[in-house]
Structure 1
Amino acid sequence: MAPTIIHSVLLFDGTSVHHDATVSFDSSTGLIISVSKEKSGFPQGATVIDGNGHTLLPGLIESHMHVHGLHLPEGSDENDILRSPLRSGVTTVCDMHSDLGAVNKWRDRVAEELKQAKAGSTSVSLSDLKTALLGATIAGGWPGPIVLGPNPTDELKAYVSTWPTLTEENAAEFVKKHKAEGADYIKLMQENCCSLALPTDSIPSATLELQTAVVKAAHAESLPVVGHATSLGSTEIVLNAGADGLTHTFIDQAPPQSIIDLYKKTNAFVIPTLVVLSSLTGEFQEDRDRFADIAFKRGVVDQGTRQNMIESLSLKAPEAKMEYAFETIRKLKQEGIDVVAGTDAVAGLKGTGIGPSLWHELEWYVKKCGFSIPEALTSATATPARRFGFGDRGVVAEGKRADLVLVKGNVTEKLQSLWEGEGIVGVWKQGFKASG
C-alpha cells in the first residue's frame, strides 16, 4: 500500500514539540516510516495531507478503564466500549479488571477488524486493548462489594464467585496462569474502605505479605504490577509491596511527606483517576456536565452515556475530598514522580465515559495539578508506554506504531483544541484511518 504523509504539521512526539514536521507512515506494516521536514518528493500514489494549522500527536493511552459490560445500560451498543475511545483519539486502552471471556471477545473483534482493514476495508473503529485480566482478588474483598451492590442478582453472585482467591501459597500460580492467558500486567486490590461510604475495614483487606508475594511472582515473570488503593494506608501497603504503580491516588487525607518519600524510594508511578474520584466525592458537577455535553455533541457518545457521565457515584466518607487528590498529584509531579493518565472509566459507571473522560482528566492535570500542557500530553502518551513496557507506541518516531491523532489548532498551547472547534480531524491506528 502507498504511504500516508502528513507535512507542515506541528508535531508533539510524546515528549517534545517540533515545528513544520513531516510524518510518513504505512498501513501495510502499521509503522511510522520517517519523521522529517521534507515537503516534496513524496512517492507516487501517497496520500498527502497538508498539516498546516494542525497538531499531530501519538495516539492517546487511557491507562485505567474496564472493558467488561457489567454495568452497561440496557439498549446500549457495547461496541462503544472500544469505539468511543478511538473517536476521542485514544488508540490504546488499559483494562484493569475484566474476566478472560470479556477480554477475549474484544481481542477477537480487534483482530478481525484489523484483518478486514488489511484485506481492503481500509478503516478501523476500535481501540487497541491491553489488560490485567482479573485482579488479584481475595475472598470477600474489593471490588466485590461495589460490583454486587446492595441487592445483588444471582447472576452477579455467580460471576463474582469465579474471581481468583489469592493466598501467599497460590500467588505464583495465579501470575503464571495470567501470563499464559495474555495478561500485560498484574493488578493488586488493596481497599480498607476508609475513603468510601462504607465502614472502615468492613471488608477483608489483603496483607502486605500477600501483596509482596504477588509482586515478587509477577516480577519473576517480567510483568509490571499496579495496585488499587484509595486511602493513604492502602497506598503505603501497595508501595511497600514493591508495586510499579498505583491505579488511583488517595482522597482520605492530605499527603504527608512520608508518602512522597515512599514514592521516590520505590520509583512507583501513579494513575490519578481524578475523574472517577470526583464522581465518588460528588464534587465538580459543572465539569461532569460540560464534558458530557461536549462528548454528546461531538458524536463520541450516545444519549445514555451522556446521562451517565453527568451522574455521580457520591459514595465518599465524610472526610474525603478532591483537594487531597489534587495536592498529592501536585507534590508528586513536583518531585519528579511519573504521572500516568487514566480515569477508571467503565461503560455505565456514573460520572465516566470511556474516551472523553480522558479529556477531562488531562484538563484537570493542567488546571488543578500544575502541569504544563505538554506534560499533560506526555502523561497520556510516552510515559504510560514507558512505564508499562509498551515499547512500540506512545511516541512518534521511525519504526513505532502508526497510532496518530491529528487535531485542528495548536494543542500544545491550548489543550481544549482536542475537543473544541473542529477538534480531532483524523485518527489512525496502525496506519489505518479510524472510521467516524
Structure 2
Amino acid sequence: MRLKSTVFIFWLWLSAIAARCQAPATLQLIRDVRVFDGEHVFEHRSVLLEDGKISRIGGSELKVTNAEVVDGRGRTLLPGLIDAHVHLPNPVEKASRQALVLGVTTQLDMFNGGYRLKLIKKFESEDRPDIADMRTAGTGATVPGGHPTQMGGGPIPTITAPDQAQSFVDARIAEGSDYIKIIHDDGSTWSWTTQRVPMLDNATMRVLVEAAHKRGKLAVVHVLSEQQARDAISAGADGLAHMFVGESVGPDFGRFVSDHHAFVIPTLVTLYPDCGKSEGPATLADPNLRPYIGEGWRQSMEMAKRNLQLNHLCNGTDVGIRQLVQAHVPLLTGTDAPVPGTTYGASVHVELALLVRDGLTPVQALAAATSVPAQAFHLSDRGWIRPGMRADLVLVEGDPTTNILATRNIVAVWKRGIRAQR
C-alpha cells in the first residue's frame, strides 16, 4: 500500500510540473506582428517556431499548413529578456518561474555558492521550459571580511594576495562558474551604514582578471564608487556590476569606460533606494506586474521607501549614465534582485524605464535587455529574433519601441518554443 501511495504522489508531482507549461505545437506561427529583432524594428512580420527554434521569418502573408496561429496584430514580438544581474535564492525554482512569466527567459546570477550553486548548475543543464534559464558566477572573489561576508551566510573562499589568483579562479571554474565575479567595494558609499570593510587591492584585482581571461572567462567587477569603477576598468575588467552611487562624476568617465571597451550593468533599480528613490512601491502598484509577484517579495519591495532628502546622492549616477550613453558604452539591463525594492522579472521592466529616463531610446533599452547582454556574455543562441535562434520570445500588447512601458503588457512568453502558463 505504501508503494502505491509513493507512486501516486510521484505521478502527481510529474503532472504538476507538466501543467506549468504547454507542450509546444509542432509548428507555431506568430502572424502579422511588429518584430524587434534585438537591434531593429520590422512591421507586419510573421515568425514561425519549430522544434524550439525560430524556423522562418516572413511577411504577414506567410502561411504554414498545420501551424497553430497566434494573432500578432497590434502587438510586438521581442527576444526573451535577459536580467544580467540577479542573486538566485532558495528556492531557485520559484524565483526563476516568476521571472519567466514576466518575460525574463535568462537570468545571470552574480554570486552564489554551496548547495544553491549546485542547484543552479543542475537547472542550467536541464534548461527546463517552465523556469528561466540561468548562468552563474558562483562565489565571487573578495578578501577576508570583505563584502559580502558582513551579510552572513556562512564562510566562503577568499583571496589575500596576487599569487592566489589563478588557483582561486581555477577552483571557481571547477565548481561551475560561467564567468568570474570580483568584489572591489569598501562600503564607503553605502548610505544605510557607516561600516567600512576591507577590499581587494588593485594588484590582486588585476591578476584575478588575467587569471579569468587565461581560462577564457569574463571578469565582472562589483563597484559602488567612481574610483572603484576606474580601478576595475584599469585592471582590465570586461564589465562593471553596478553603476556607482555619487553626488558627482568626472567629465571624462564615459569616454574612459568606452576607451577600455568595457560594458556596464547599471542596476539603477537597486541603487536608487540608497538615494531615497525606491521604485518598489510603484512596481507593486502596477496591475500588469503585481499579480505575478510572490507575497514574500512584495514585502521586501515595500521595505524600500522614498526619501527626497537623499535624492542628491544619485546626481552623479544619473549624469554618469548619460555619459555612458553618449560614449556608446554597452549597457546591460540588470536588477540585483532580490535586494529590497526589487524582485525577479518585474524589476527588469522598471530598469528599462529608468534607462530610458536617463537617455536611452526605447529601442536601445530593449537591446540592453536582449542582444547586448547576449553578446557581452557570449550567449550566441539567444538575444535576437533570427532563423536558427532559440525560440525564447515575449509577445506584448502595444509598441515598446516607442513606449517602453508597453513591455509590461505581456500577452505570451515562450522558452524554447514552449509557451509558459501564466
Q: Considering the TM-score relative to the shorter chain, is it more than 0.5? A: yes
Contact 1:248 1:271 in 2 (8 A): yes
The alpha-carbon deviation at position 68 of structure 1 amounts to 2.9
Secondary structure of 2:212's counterpart equals helix
Contact 2:284 2:298 in 1 (8 A): yes
Contact 2:44 2:60 in 1 (8 A): no
Q: Deviations over 1:212-263 (max 9, x none)?
A: 1011011111111111000111111111110011011111232212422320
Secondary structure of 1:170's counterpart equals helix
Partner residue in 1 for 2:304:
312
Q: Extract unaligned runs of 5+ from structure 1.
A: 70-76, 115-123, 149-155
Q: Which residue identity lines up with residue 284 of structure 1 in the other structure?
A: K
Partner residue in 1 for 2:33:
9
Q: Which residue identity lines up with residue 231 of structure 2 in the other structure?
A: I
Contact 1:192 1:234 in 2 (8 A): no
One of 222, 236, 257 as aligned partner of 1:242: 236
1:128-277 counterparts in 2 under 5 A? 128-145=133-150, 147-148=151-152, 156=153, 159=154, 161-197=155-191, 198-199=193-194, 202-277=196-271
1:6-155 counterparts in 2 under 5 A? 6-26=30-50, 28=51, 30-37=52-59, 39-44=61-66, 46-69=67-90, 79-109=93-123, 114=128, 124-145=129-150, 147-148=151-152
The alpha-carbon deviation at position 203 of structure 1 amounts to 1.4
Q: Which residue identity lines up with residue 135 of structure 1 in the other structure?
A: G
Cα distance between partner residues in 2 of 1:178 and 1:55: 40
The answer to whether 1:402 aligns with 2:391 is yes
Aligned length: 396
Secondary structure of 1:405's counterpart equals strand
Q: Extract unaligned runs of 5+ from structure 2.
A: 1-24
Partner residue in 2 for 1:359:
349
Contact 2:284 2:290 in 1 (8 A): no
The 1:279/1:319 distance shift into structure 2, 3 A limit, reads closer
Cα distance between partner residues in 2 of 1:220 and 1:12: 36
Secondary structure of 1:106's counterpart equals helix
Q: TM-score, normalization: structure 2? A: 0.88
The answer to whether 1:426 aligns with 2:412 is yes
Contact 2:97 2:131 in 1 (8 A): yes
Contact 1:295 1:301 in 2 (8 A): no
Q: Deviations over 1:51-93 (max 9, x none)?
A: 1111000000000110133xxxxxxx76321111111100000
Cα distance between partner residues in 1 of 2:325 and 2:238: 16
Partner residue in 2 for 1:152:
none
Q: Which residue identity lines up with residue 54 of structure 1 in the other structure?
A: R
Contact 2:185 2:224 in 1 (8 A): yes
Q: Which residue identity lines up with residue 353 of structure 2 in the other structure?
A: E
Percent sequence identity is 31
The 1:186/1:297 distance shift into structure 2, 3 A limit, reads closer
Cα distance between partner residues in 2 of 1:267 and 1:361: 23
Contact 1:366 1:372 in 2 (8 A): yes
Partner residue in 2 for 1:376:
365
Contact 1:208 1:240 in 2 (8 A): no
The 1:182/1:407 distance shift into structure 2, 3 A limit, reads same
Contact 1:229 1:250 in 2 (8 A): yes
Contact 1:194 1:252 in 2 (8 A): no
Q: Which residue identity lines up with residue 342 of structure 2 in the other structure?
A: T
The alpha-carbon deviation at position 412 of structure 1 amounts to 1.1
The answer to whether 1:332 aligns with 2:311 is no
Contact 2:242 2:267 in 1 (8 A): yes
Q: CA RMSD in A?
A: 2.2
Secondary structure of 2:131's counterpart equals coil
The alpha-carbon deviation at position 318 of structure 1 amounts to 7.3
The 1:351/1:400 distance shift into structure 2, 3 A limit, reads same
Partner residue in 2 for 1:121:
none
Q: Which residue identity lines up with residue 139 of structure 1 in the other structure?
A: P
Partner residue in 1 for 2:284:
292
